[in-house]
Amino acid sequence: MKDNATIWISGTHHNIFSVQQQLLKLDFKILNVITWAKTNPPPNISCRYFTYSTEFIIWARKSQKVAHYYNYELMKQLNGNKQMTDVWQLPAIGRWEKSCGKHPTQKPLGVLARLIQASTQPGAWILDPFNGSATTGIAANLLGRKYLGLEIVDEFLSISKARREEIENSAIRSNYLERLAKAKIILPPDDFFVADEVKLNYGVPWLQE
């Protein structure tokens, strides 16, 4: 990670507190702990507990001293001109997001698109070492960022490849962007910066001549 880079780690109450402890031991500065409050959580089958409806996402920066990037104005604009809070009311994953196959813990594009826009600028490199079905990568590429993902399960790499190929289709890409705009995750197309004219190089930098 670069000194001014930030990291996002998602989890549930089972693991997120120990993740925070490890980050603090490594001298990271915790910037926020986002509560993702799912607007349509799956029901609790046992009926012996409150329905689980939240996940947590820690946002931390590597260096205590080097400033991080936060797109405050965009987040405010997307939130009806009010400061965006650390509670995100967003739906669980939709069926339309599973067109290329199923990953058991696939995240919604909306969650990833929000955090990517909040913490990176177009053209930035984003690494997800636990790629899964590459939701981070799809959100990154839709928003004009470059992406590298690591994944140990071949089947999930195949889903990732299919998803990446899917957004080469401009009708599908537009459909996804429209859905994100409708959900107020990105600005409507007139205002939205699509990096069409920027010839982004998706190659891996350390393999370039």
Binding interface with ligand SAM (CB under 6 A): 103, 105-107, 130, 132-133, 135, 150-153, 156
CB of 101 to ligand SAM, least distance (A): 10
CB of 179 to ligand SAM, least distance (A): 16
* Residues 2-24 as b or e (16 or more Cβ within 10 Å = b): eeebbebbbeeeeebeeebeebe
Query: Which CB sits closer to ligand SAM, 115 or 177?
Result: 115
Query: Which CB sits closer to ligand SAM, 154 or 209?
Result: 154
CB of 73 to ligand SAM, least distance (A): 27
User: What residues pair up with 58 in beta bridges, in sequence order?
Assistant: 9, 33
Query: Which CB sits closer to ligand SAM, 54 or 63?
Result: 54
CA angle 165, 166, 168 (to 5 degrees): 65
Query: DSSP strand E in the chain: where?
Result: 6-11, 29-38, 54-61, 87-90, 125-128, 146-149
Query: Which CB sits closer to ligand SAM, 59 or 156?
Result: 156
- Give the CB-nearest residue to ligand SAM: 132
